[in-house]
Amino acid sequence: MAVTGTPAGALDPRDALLDHTIPAGEPWVGCLARGQVLRIVDLEGNQSVDTLFYNAANLEEHYSAADTIRAQRNLYLTTGSELRSNLGSIMLTLIEDTCGRHDTLGGACSAESNTVRYALDKHYMHSCRDNFLAGLERYGHGMSKRDLPSNINFFMNVPVTPQGALRFADGISGPGRYVQLRAHMDVLILISNCPQLNNPCNAYNPTPAQILIWKAG
C-alpha cells in the first residue's frame, strides 16, 4: 500500500517483513524484535492510534508515560523521544515523525469515560479499553485489565491549558503521515485503532491505520 509524504531515503514498504492494515475501530497485537523498526501510518488523517508496549521477556515491564515524560522533560512525543518503561529502561526510540506531536496524557476511551464525558447512552459504545482487553485475550499469557497502564495516543492532539486541564482538539495529522520507532528490546505491541465517535481525535469518523515492520538494520 502506497504511503504518501515519505521522505527520500526512507525505508521501502516493499521490503517490510509485515505490512498490515488495522480496520477502523479494531485492535491489533504483535511483536517487534530488538533492532527492528515499526512504522504506524495514519492512512486517511486524524485517526488516533492508541498504543502500548511491553517487554516481551518480562510482561510486568511496560511503557510508562510518567517515566517517559520525566526523562525527556516534555509532555509530547516526536522525533528523538525515548519511550521509557516503568523500570526506567529505554524500550523504543521515535526515529522519524511526519506528524509532529503525539499525546501521552489523554489515555484510552472506555465505557466509563464515554458516559462521564458525553452521555449515559454512550456507555455501550465500543472503546479503546475494550480493544486493549480483546488484544490481551488474543495474546494470552494470563494478561488482564490490571496489565493496562496509561497509553500513547499517536496522531492525537490533546493540548494542556494554562490551568492544567486537557482539551481534545482537532488533529494536526493528515493522510499518510506516520511515526517510525526502533526497538531497544523485544517488545509486545498492543494497539487500539480508536473507535471514538464523540470527540475530534478521529475527526468523528474512525479510519484504518497501517502497520509496517522492517528487520533490524
What integer pLDDT is reported at residue 214 of this predicted model?
A: 97
Report whether 169 contacts 158 (CB < 8 A): yes
Report whether 187 contacts 216 (CB < 8 A): no
Residue 112 lies in a domain: yes
Residue 78 lies in a domain: yes
**Domain span at residue 152?**
24-214
Among candidate residues 138, 130, 144, 126, the one with its CA nearest the CA of residue 196: 126
What integer pLDDT is reported at residue 179 of this predicted model?
A: 97
Q: Domains in the chain: how many in total?
A: 1
Residue 3 lies in a domain: no
Which grid coordinates belong to 39?
Answer: 512504522
Residue 7 lies in a domain: no
Residue 12 lies in a domain: no
Residue 13 lies in a domain: no
What integer pLDDT is reported at residue 5 of this predicted model?
A: 41
Q: Interior CA angle at 107 toward 57 and 102, to 5°?
A: 85
pTM reported for the whole predicted model: 0.89
Residue 141 lies in a domain: yes
Q: What is the DSSP string of 73-124?
A: T-SSB-TT-EEEBTTS-EEEEEEEESS--BBSSS----HHHHHHHT-GGGTT
Residue 59 lies in a domain: yes
Tens of pLDDT along the chain (217 residues) come to 333 344 444 799 999 999 999 999 999 999 999 999 999 999 999 999 999 999 999 999 999 999 999 999 999 999 999 999 999 999 999 999 999 999 998 888 866 766 756 556 666 667 889 999 999 988 888 898 899 999 999 998 887 878 777 777 777 899 999 999 999 999 999 999 998 877 777 888 999 999 999 998 7
